Structure 1
Amino acid sequence: MTYEELLQAMLDRVPSNVDKREGSIIYDALAPCAYFLAQQNFQLENYLDLVFPDTAVGEYLDRAVAAYGVTRKPASAAVRKMITTGAVSIGSRWGLNSLVYTVTRELASGTEYEAQCETPGDIGNQYSGSVQPISNITGVTAELTDLITAGADEETDGALRERFLQKVQLPATSGNAYHYKLWALDVPGVGDARVFPLDNGPGTVTVLIVDNDKNIDTSLESAVSAYMETVRPIGANVTIDSPSSIAVNVVADVTLDGSKVKDDVLRAFKAALEIYLKGLVFTDYRVSYARIGSLLLATEGVQDYDNLKLNGAMANVIIADKAIPVIGTVDFSEVRMYGAN
């Protein structure tokens, strides 16, 4: 019941010969009580959402799924290659764009090192270039280059919920295909996986993985492989790999309605196309020609289109079993403004 309904129900129980108008003694006495009860009703209604895994959030979701042996994947730190002009000590610290990287291992004598970001998460993957010494180091310059192991942000509520539902709904037992998928998803940074049983003969399993953004990240392979060795059945030969990519190139003659310029339309369409293609990863191996056309018509600023082609043909694009679709080139040619001659 709402605050108004609660207050009215209370006032209805007061004798009619008592002044119940707003501002009266009885009205002013009951109004705070009705407000408090309305708050309690609201909290109780939302409390139920915090109890069940399909609606819980934050720490309540952590507690709801913990009983099933599922825990939120923590943020992991990026490990980068650092190239120097001279030898540096293990444990020395270097700064770049407010981030600090600590040298953890020597890769090549006196010139290449492994450096781990002190701030966990995806942010450690983002910057490259010259790093400045924080430790007392002189006469040596250094540059942060390749990504050795990608850092990953803490698992989101949505990803944790999806992983929980897969665990309780999929029949993952005794090292079957579902089990290998769940094991791969346990590793921080892995967003999805597909399993190929008997891929290279009896006793072999191939697991393809992508990152949290459904992108190819080969740096995850070693972490997943190491973890898989600790949980796989004895005798299984497991290969951890990344899928190949199939570029989806889009061309079309687009008629604009005059509300947006070509660059804005291209940017909006690419964003929608990327979302669509990521939704196909490991779930659908056909890029729909009709769906791309619908996305184009739904793009703000587009009135109509002609001669839409995907990879040079007016047809669906078929993706191989061990591949995922990615955005290729997008070209809107012969763009005409509505009403133009």
Structure 2
Amino acid sequence: MADLPQYLQEQTEEEILNRMLEKVPSDIDKSEGSFIWDAQAPVAFMLSEAALWAQELLRRGFASTAASDNDQFRSAELDLRTAEHGITRREAVASSGSVLFTGKPGTKVPVGTFVATPADDVSGELSVEYVTTSAVVLDEFGTAEAAIRAVTAGKNGNVPARVIQVMNSSVSGISSVTNPEPTRSGADTESDQSLLERFYAKVRSQGTSGNKAQYIQWANEIAGVGGVEVVPLWKGPGTVALYLLDTDKRAASTEIVKAVQLHIDPTQDGQGEGLAPAGPVVTILPAEEVKIDISVKVQRTQERPSTLDEIRKLIGDGVQTYLQQIAFNRKDPLVRYTRIAAVLLDIPIIVDYSNLTINGNDAQQNIEIGSGQVAVLGTVSVSE
């Protein structure tokens, strides 16, 4: 916040008390412990408290200072401020994915079957529970894949592959369950900083008459949306496509895509039944993921013991952060070889590297990411 207004400056208890004592005639004892001093000291304290309250009230009255940097805190004052412009905080989104059931052929797994990750008593990690959203019947090989959704909304529902192993519902004929792929698109209740960013986008870049800015604003009103790319004239005049990312900068889930479609253009017939104006037909699509596979030979430091698995994770984390930064960046739609090389050199336990290949190419070429596409981390292979 800018400097405090003058009427809120120099309002400490001591400064207020001194100003009050200055108004007392000089022939009256004003020393500490005197009757006048004792009578005015409590008043000075309460006035200083009131000044602090006024400063806090002023701080909470502006969106930029009402927003908290703490991801665990949600400012009620920011909600009130953004609501004045029709922007509400996005609710948490449940993670989704699929599980593979194995067992006796012909076994039916009903909708509403509960599965979960195992709890870890050592680390204190709690079990994460999911429920099937479709009924399946095991085929002649004794397997069937069913869609699932996390019971509790939030980012903790995003778990790696093959960690869902517990049947919380008893289904006769099922011997095991697992998730072949990670669960995705779970999101926590929108943070203050994200809400503030959307607020600024609304008030500083007005969307009108169905321009690009307005389509982006409409899509971002749906919980779980983490990125939007608008493609005008997608299939010719009168067509518009919106490609979506989730908050992890991966392709948005089917649930998020459906929610945005219903929000903007539910009928897709140009009648303007949603937020989109009459005329254009709007199609909502998940971004197309382009996997970035990395292979590298490294030389490890001798001062600090390290494992290849540790290095693999550090490389994966660094590259993933880089890819998230460039997601839907049409000003520079390239995955740059030099940036991935810089990630390697920024890892202290890597002394040097060689034979770096990206998607099997060792020619130090950049990879162009097309419209509607997003680069995501694939496999990371490390050797020495």
- Structure 2 length-normalised TM: 0.67
Residue equivalent to 2:130: 101
1:59-208 → structure 2 map (5 Å cutoff): 59-82=76-99, 83-85=101-103, 86-96=107-117, 97=119, 98-108=127-137, 111-126=144-159, 128-134=163-169, 137=171, 140-145=174-179, 146=181, 150-208=185-243
Q: Structure 2: any 5+ residue segments left out of the alignment?
A: 1-10, 68-74, 120-126, 267-273
Whole-Å separation in 1 of the counterparts to 2:57 and 2:65: 10
1:22 equivalent in alignment to 2:67:
no
1:49 aligned partner, one-letter code: R
2:130 aligned partner, one-letter code: Y
Q: CA deviation at 1:41?
A: 1.3
Q: Structure 1 stretch 36-45 or stretch 321-330: which is displaced more?
A: 321-330
Contact 1:184 1:190 survives alignment (8 Å): yes
Q: Pick closer, same or farther for the CA change 1:315–1:49 going to 2, 3 Å.
A: farther
| 3-state SS of paired residue (2:243) | strand
Q: CA deviation at 1:131?
A: 1.5
2:154 aligned partner, one-letter code: G
**Corresponding pairs, count:** 331
Whole-Å separation in 2 of the counterparts to 1:331 and 1:102: 34
Contact 1:253 1:332 survives alignment (8 Å): yes
Q: Pick closer, same or farther for the CA change 1:14–1:292 going to 2, 3 Å.
A: farther
Structure number with the higher strand fraction is: 1
2:260 aligned to which of 218, 224, 228: 224
Q: Pick closer, same or farther for the CA change 1:94–1:287 going to 2, 3 Å.
A: closer
Whole-Å separation in 2 of the counterparts to 1:46 and 1:294: 44
Contact 1:310 1:316 survives alignment (8 Å): no
Q: Pick closer, same or farther for the CA change 1:163–1:32 going to 2, 3 Å.
A: same
Q: CA deviation at 1:269?
A: 8.8
Q: CA deviation at 1:75?
A: 0.8
1:7 equivalent in alignment to 2:17:
yes
Q: Pick closer, same or farther for the CA change 1:199–1:157 going to 2, 3 Å.
A: same
Q: CA deviation at 1:49?
A: 2.3
Q: CA deviation at 1:61?
A: 1.2
Q: Structure 1 stretch 98-107 or stretch 271-280: which is displaced more?
A: 271-280
Whole-Å separation in 2 of the counterparts to 1:271 and 1:149: 17
Whole-Å separation in 1 of the counterparts to 2:29 and 2:316: 66
Whole-Å separation in 1 of the counterparts to 2:316 and 2:31: 61
Contact 2:116 2:164 survives alignment (8 Å): no
Whole-Å separation in 2 of the counterparts to 1:323 and 1:40: 55
Contact 2:290 2:375 survives alignment (8 Å): yes
Query: Residue deviations 1:287-323, cap 9 Å, x none?
Result: 78998999999x6969x9999x997688987654544
Contact 1:310 1:317 survives alignment (8 Å): no
Contact 2:115 2:129 survives alignment (8 Å): yes
Q: CA deviation at 1:275?
A: 4.9
Q: Pick closer, same or farther for the CA change 1:306–1:22 going to 2, 3 Å.
A: farther
Residue equivalent to 2:5: none
Q: Structure 1: any 5+ residue segments left out of the alignment?
A: 335-341
Whole-Å separation in 2 of the counterparts to 1:267 and 1:23: 67
Whole-Å separation in 2 of the counterparts to 1:281 and 1:62: 28
Q: Pick closer, same or farther for the CA change 1:52–1:33 going to 2, 3 Å.
A: same
2:326 aligned to which of 276, 280, 285: 280
Contact 1:265 1:301 survives alignment (8 Å): no
Residue equivalent to 2:8: none
Whole-Å separation in 2 of the counterparts to 1:318 and 1:250: 19
Q: Structure 1 stretch 275-284 or stretch 54-63: which is displaced more?
A: 275-284
Whole-Å separation in 1 of the counterparts to 2:340 and 2:138: 52
| 3-state SS of paired residue (1:55) | helix
Query: Residue deviations 1:250-285, cap 9 Å, x none?
Result: 99999x9x9989999998898677555533333441
| 3-state SS of paired residue (2:146) | strand
| 3-state SS of paired residue (2:133) | strand
